[in-house]
Structure 1
Amino acid sequence: MRWTRVAAIVPLWIALSVQQPRDPLDSFCRIFGHQAAVVDRRLYVDGGFVNHGSLPQDPKNYTNTALLDADLDVTNLGMPVLHSNLSKPSKVPDINGAILWSDPVNKILYLYGGEYSEGEPDPFALWAYNIVSSKWNSMPADPEYRDIQRASYGAGAVVEGGEFAYYYGGWLSNASVPSWGSTEPLALSSLLMYNMDQHTWTNSSGPDSIGRAEGAMVYLPASDRGMLVYFGGLQVPEGTGKATPQPMDEILLYDIANSKWYTQKATGQVPEDRRRFCAGATWASDYSSYNIYLYGGSEISEGVGFDDVYILSLPSFKWIKWYPTEPGPGYPHHSLSCNVVDGAQMIIIGGVFTNTTMCDVPNVYAMHNMDLGKQNPDSSPWYQFRPNLTTYKVPPEIVSAIGGSESGKANVTSPKGGFGYRDLNTYFQRVYTPPPRTPSHTPEDDDSTPVGAIAGGTVGGVAGVCIIVGGLYLWLRRRRKQKETPVEEAVSTPSAPETKPPTMYELPGQREQPIGELANTAPVELESPGVTKHFSLPGDHHQYQHSPLHSRDPSSPSAELPV
């Protein structure tokens, strides 16, 4: 196992004046780099960046300081309605590139990972939001897990029914780890598990020593305890120090019951290499096919990115292009979120658009809905969200590829050429039904340490002044989180003839991007309006020994870490 150090593209941030915090939904234009989850038919959106008003007039990316939510049973203009009135004290970090793990039994959201858009990151803490009590808490730090760190832009998933949450790969950098300094970002090759009942961590090895990030991972109820499926993004092969695409036809699988990784080749209409896309999974009612829907993403280096939908159907391991069916420029975007609802629909929120400065459907706060079974009058993959659509039907395109019908009964139940490992054939013949869970947490558990509460009373005038000064400090710190960095301007339009595709600019908040030297690719000079140019830094690549835990001490002078 190894940590991998790579050359990074590091933006030179412009000076920032303190800005008045504002409602992220006020004059809404775009949102991206956020994290989202669904619990009890309610959608939650946290962190990321927000644009307000007209981008040409106000091309700033403001940090989203709110926890947004929407009742999925209440719609307007065909989509759920986001609100910004939930509790989120200033002590809770406002970050991008994180994940929200959902615990539907205990009604808790766990905020793991991500990057600080400004300033030195705080020491690692796992934050928990109790939906019932509307309180945030920092989970107690256990000395046994003191080396767990905050990774960003990795891939996460939660086992059906909750209890176990997983996170694979991602970056450690100066935007996520305190005192990281000028040490270059590290790509992780480990799998992190959090037990939401016992509040314990387990860090295990990945499928190999290759660091990976910016791909996607989903959970499937196959085998004895379920399986994790990872694909796409970037990889940093051991010994190269170069970020290369993770091939889209190379699918990584983790069998939870046996704690074992597998690799399987996929065939069919394999998507172009990409990163920072989003994906969600659903399955036929008879479990004869598990279908993973991928949308959008950024190209690995140059280019406008993607505005398309691909389906990876398992266990046939066949890729199917689902959208678009006709050529055209579309609206490519990345750094967005996908959330499957009742297995039948997938709500896609936001993203960074690379070929337009138009706002992203502001009347519905950048929400788009995908009908996974095309169960609408238009037989379209895109349709308004319908709260009463709760059953998945396999769409015709999948049926044509693997046989069967809309209810399942797939005929193709193995990859072309067979499984790379015979274990996989056995695993996909089993269906996992999670046992009932007993809640291990109550709203009263939060009463002892509510975030933001001021304990004790004022002792004399000096104590009063200290409290006022402390409150002012927190207020100013919160205001400074309104990070402003220029948004990408369109450098070409869809109608411009014979125009070279615009450069894929560095993503706002992406301090760790390690694509400065891509295999067989010349270094790319990146430029964004209002930002000093920043470049790839080829050469002088190094590696660090992987530790058994999810961290590394950046101040250590030795390249070798304990194993």
Structure 2
Amino acid sequence: MSRVLLNSFLVLSCLGQSLLYDDGAAWRYGIIRAVEGGMINHGISEASWGNGWLGKREDTPTDVCKRWSHQTAIINGTMYLYGGRSMADASQNDKTWNNDFLTLNLKSGWKISSPKLTGLPRPDGPPPVSNGYLWHSYDTLWLYGGEFSDNPPKSPTAFSLWEYHIPSSTWKEHENPKTSKGKHSKSENELVQRSAEGAGINVPQLGRGWYFGGHLDGYTTEGWSQSIARVYLKSMIEYTFPDHSNGQVESLADGKRAGDEGVWRNITEGGLQDSAGFTERADGVLVYVPGFGKEGIILGLAGGTNATFTQMNVIDVYDIANSTWYKQATSGKTPEIRVNPCAVAASAADGSSTQVYLYGGQNLIPYGEQIQYDDMWILTIPSFTWIKVDTDDQAVPPARAGHACNIWNSQIIVTGGYVGQDLSCDSPGIYVFDASELKWQNQYAAREGGNDLNQQASQEDSRALSGSYWYRVPKAVQSVIGGNDQGHATVTAPAMEASEGPIATGKPLTYTVSDSNGNHTGSPNGSSDQGPNVGAIVAGVIAGCLAILAAYLGFCIYLYRKRLALYKSHVAAAQRSSTGSQFGDKLGAIFPPRSADNSSTQRQSVSDVGTTANRYSAHGAPGIYGAGGHVVDDSSTEDLLAGQEPTFLGVMLNPRRSLRVINKD
């Protein structure tokens, strides 16, 4: 069931690992852990945020003291920000949750002191939540997950997916979403629940969004008693967008497309996912990397629970096409353990490497002493090497956690973040990092050109990374993986090679770059499911033809020179042996006597040479003298004295005759 609202966003809450409710207990499917507590209702009540069509509300203020734990997405050069927490001034300590709705213009430049923010009407449908995620297609946003206010405490409503259609500026509510059966997902027809503090990722090219891990508690799930402990998850919820296919879902087999409600799948048994070494986690990040499989891979980094943290010397790798998790060891000095960082990815022009940028976050150990980070790290793929970015002597933003990162025009735009208690305000709280130059900037620079996805000029196909337009591989990365600023990486495998999975069997999605600006010739070269590279085939055929032509011309030059040398040698021999003067008196005027009937008009063509020579021999003219001065009566050899010095054109058009003459001699 759906409801359409003016200025609507799609908020979805979802369950990472399915919860099967029963009186007195909540059972988590997958790990099957019982959580004791009071009764949890089976039913889902009507959301209390509004019904039917709603009028516009007041616009969102753009000027805040602090903003953090919000949700963001970029569509065609416009960043959308929804919800999260904010403070109007430094003295505010409650009522920080909000349903603010803003846009940030990335089609034109601005200074970080005055970013081009626009406040949109606050919607009267989606709830005010933080730590969820915005999935997006090319014209639609979906808000998944998030948690309700704990100061003052607010009881969460039943989960609904809220959709915001950008062209019409309308909201639509999708109530009571249920899971579907698919690969590594046995559950079906279970109500999707709202998770928070998980890691989200979106691939509009595939028409899918994912949310990994997170937690369920009394601020995410309707009817959850606050006496029940928080439950951390290690499952991954997948949402297939309307009108898109997904071969991993049974109901979408054989190319079927999802209906208006989309299709949900709760992935709980994907490879290592059900093993003890694959831990529950919240507050991590997901990053999409093209290639290495039919649909690319997703990397899981950072995060943890209230007791353990995820190390980053080993990275979780999810093969999208097979719905399976693997692990991959990294090399180089690794970042310290942390939660609530942000991460984006940028692709080299030729696709030979993808750089994952990890910024900020916080360490919660020891408990109660939050330490925020301001460092920037790069994980370069496929070498899986960590590189710490040197930002000394730069104007680095204050350390932060719970911020959002997005990349556009190869610039990382950082919005908001929790900066601790020592800084009274962080306004406007938007910063720009040049991913190519590895420098913090005081302004955002718009770029001319580029497509709606802001892909590299050499990568305008549906699988390539968005936001990488104008990206150049930094020198600090080149020094580790080789190549140049366009790519051409020479380190093409991890130091600790994978034994299975997409890193072991796949390769990057690569492209041909034709100039220093990253423009291209040809189509993608690297994925296992790519079709024929028409540009490369045409170029190869042309190059092959030119090579054959060059070889033929070289061969003809060789024959011409040999035949000319033989011709001159035989002429000299003939002159030495001749007693009459049937040939000219002058060296070089060596023409046989012509028949009386054609002496004034005959012109020899290439095809006439043999016939004329035989005629002259039959009339008693001297033949061709061999080395011993004996006459050799052979028409092919007589061609050498058939009235003309050999020409290159003649050799080129009839190389077999020339070769026969040379071999005879």
TM-score grouping bracket, smaller chain normalisation = 0.5 to 0.7
TM-score (norm 2): 0.57
How far has the Cα of 1:402 moved from its partner? Answer: 0.9
How far has the Cα of 1:425 moved from its partner? Answer: 2.9
Conserved 8 A contact 2:111-2:442: no
Residue aligning to 1:73: 107
Do the aligned partners of residues 422 and 128 (structure 1) sit closer, same or farther apart at CA in structure 2, a change above 3 Å counting?
closer
Structure 1 residues not aligned, in runs of 5+: 8-20, 236-241, 436-563
1:349-388 maps to which residues of 2 (within 5 A)? Answer: 349-354=415-420, 356-360=422-426, 362=427, 365-374=428-437, 380-388=439-447
Look up the equivalent residue of 1:356 and give its one-letter code: D
Look up the equivalent residue of 2:155 and give its one-letter code: E
Alpha-carbon separation, structure 1, partners of 2:228 and 2:424: 37
Do the aligned partners of residues 423 and 164 (structure 1) sit closer, same or farther apart at CA in structure 2, a change above 3 Å counting?
closer
Residue aligning to 2:488: 409
Look up the equivalent residue of 1:221 and give its one-letter code: P
Alpha-carbon separation, structure 1, partners of 2:529 and 2:411: 22
Residue aligning to 1:308: 375
1:190 equivalent to 2:207? Answer no
How far has the Cα of 1:328 moved from its partner? Answer: 11
How far has the Cα of 1:64 moved from its partner? Answer: 2.6
Look up the equivalent residue of 1:214 and give its one-letter code: D
1:155 equivalent to 2:195? Answer no
Residue aligning to 1:40: 76
Look up the equivalent residue of 2:159 and give its one-letter code: F
Alpha-carbon separation, structure 1, partners of 2:140 and 2:192: 21
Alpha-carbon separation, structure 2, partners of 1:89 and 1:422: 44
TM-score (norm 1): 0.67
Q: Higher helix share goes to which structure?
A: 2
Look up the equivalent residue of 2:412 and give its one-letter code: M
Alpha-carbon separation, structure 1, partners of 2:136 and 2:142: 6
Residue aligning to 1:228: 298
Q: Deviations over 1:92-121 (max 9, x none)?
A: 1110000000111xx100000000114111
1:255 equivalent to 2:291? Answer no
Do the aligned partners of residues 162 and 339 (structure 1) sit closer, same or farther apart at CA in structure 2, a change above 3 Å counting?
farther
Alpha-carbon separation, structure 2, partners of 1:380 and 1:350: 19
How far has the Cα of 1:341 moved from its partner? Answer: 1.2
Alpha-carbon separation, structure 2, partners of 1:35 and 1:381: 23
Do the aligned partners of residues 75 and 423 (structure 1) sit closer, same or farther apart at CA in structure 2, a change above 3 Å counting?
closer
Do the aligned partners of residues 429 and 336 (structure 1) sit closer, same or farther apart at CA in structure 2, a change above 3 Å counting?
closer
Residue aligning to 1:204: 267
How far has the Cα of 1:412 moved from its partner? Answer: 1.0
Look up the equivalent residue of 2:74 and give its one-letter code: V
Q: 1:170 aligns with which of 214, 232, 240?
A: 214
Conserved 8 A contact 2:195-2:220: yes
Q: Higher strand share goes to which structure?
A: 1
Residue aligning to 1:299: 363
Compute the RMSD of aligned alpha carbons: 2.7
Aligned residues: 403
Q: SS state of the match for residue 328, structure 2?
A: strand
Q: Deviations over 1:193-214 (max 9, x none)?
A: 1010210001112532421111
How far has the Cα of 1:77 moved from its partner? Answer: 2.6
Alpha-carbon separation, structure 2, partners of 1:33 and 1:298: 13
Conserved 8 A contact 1:4-1:211: no
How far has the Cα of 1:89 moved from its partner? Answer: 2.9
Do the aligned partners of residues 120 and 323 (structure 1) sit closer, same or farther apart at CA in structure 2, a change above 3 Å counting?
farther
Conserved 8 A contact 1:37-1:43: yes
Q: SS state of the match for residue 267, structure 1?
A: coil
1:214 equivalent to 2:278? Answer no
Look up the equivalent residue of 1:166 and give its one-letter code: W
Structure 2 residues not aligned, in runs of 5+: 1-29, 37-56, 180-188, 243-257, 449-468, 510-525, 531-665
Conserved 8 A contact 2:71-2:130: yes
Do the aligned partners of residues 329 and 314 (structure 1) sit closer, same or farther apart at CA in structure 2, a change above 3 Å counting?
closer
Do the aligned partners of residues 138 and 271 (structure 1) sit closer, same or farther apart at CA in structure 2, a change above 3 Å counting?
same
Moved more, 93-102 or 297-306: 297-306
Moved more, 69-78 or 306-315: 69-78
How far has the Cα of 1:258 moved from its partner? Answer: 1.8
1:461-472 maps to which residues of 2 (within 5 A)? Answer: none
Higher Rg: 2
Residue aligning to 1:279: 343
Look up the equivalent residue of 2:193 and give its one-letter code: Q
Conserved 8 A contact 2:333-2:386: yes
Q: SS state of the match for residue 397, structure 1?
A: helix
Q: Deviations over 1:206-240 (max 9, x none)?
A: 532421111100111112111111011105xxxxx
How far has the Cα of 1:143 moved from its partner? Answer: 5.2
How far has the Cα of 1:66 moved from its partner? Answer: 1.9
Q: Which has the higher contact order (CA 8 A, sep 6+)?
A: 1
1:64 equivalent to 2:105? Answer no
Q: Deviations over 1:237-289 (max 9, x none)?
A: xxxxx721101111001111122211011111200000001111111111111
Do the aligned partners of residues 384 and 433 (structure 1) sit closer, same or farther apart at CA in structure 2, a change above 3 Å counting?
farther
Residue aligning to 1:396: 475
Q: Deviations over 1:30-60 (max 9, x none)?
A: 100101000111000001111123x1x4444
Moved more, 281-290 or 137-146: 137-146
Residue aligning to 1:109: 141
Q: SS state of the match for residue 245, structure 1?
A: coil
Look up the equivalent residue of 2:107 and give its one-letter code: D
Alpha-carbon separation, structure 2, partners of 1:92 and 1:246: 32
Residue aligning to 2:458: none
Conserved 8 A contact 2:85-2:96: yes
Alpha-carbon separation, structure 1, partners of 2:377 and 2:213: 23
Q: 2:66 aligns with which of 30, 37, 57?
A: 30
Look up the equivalent residue of 2:359 and give its one-letter code: Y
Residue aligning to 2:507: 428
Look up the equivalent residue of 1:315 and give its one-letter code: P
Residue aligning to 2:183: none
Alpha-carbon separation, structure 2, partners of 1:4 and 1:406: 50
Alpha-carbon separation, structure 2, partners of 1:254 and 1:81: 36
Conserved 8 A contact 1:331-1:356: no
How far has the Cα of 1:67 moved from its partner? Answer: 1.0
Q: SS state of the match for residue 208, structure 1?
A: helix
Look up the equivalent residue of 2:146 and give its one-letter code: G
Alpha-carbon separation, structure 2, partners of 1:385 and 1:32: 21
Q: SS state of the match for residue 345, structure 2?
A: strand
Q: 1:123 aligns with which of 138, 143, 158?
A: 158
Q: Deviations over 1:373-418 (max 9, x none)?
A: 01xxxx7243521111731100111111111111001111111132
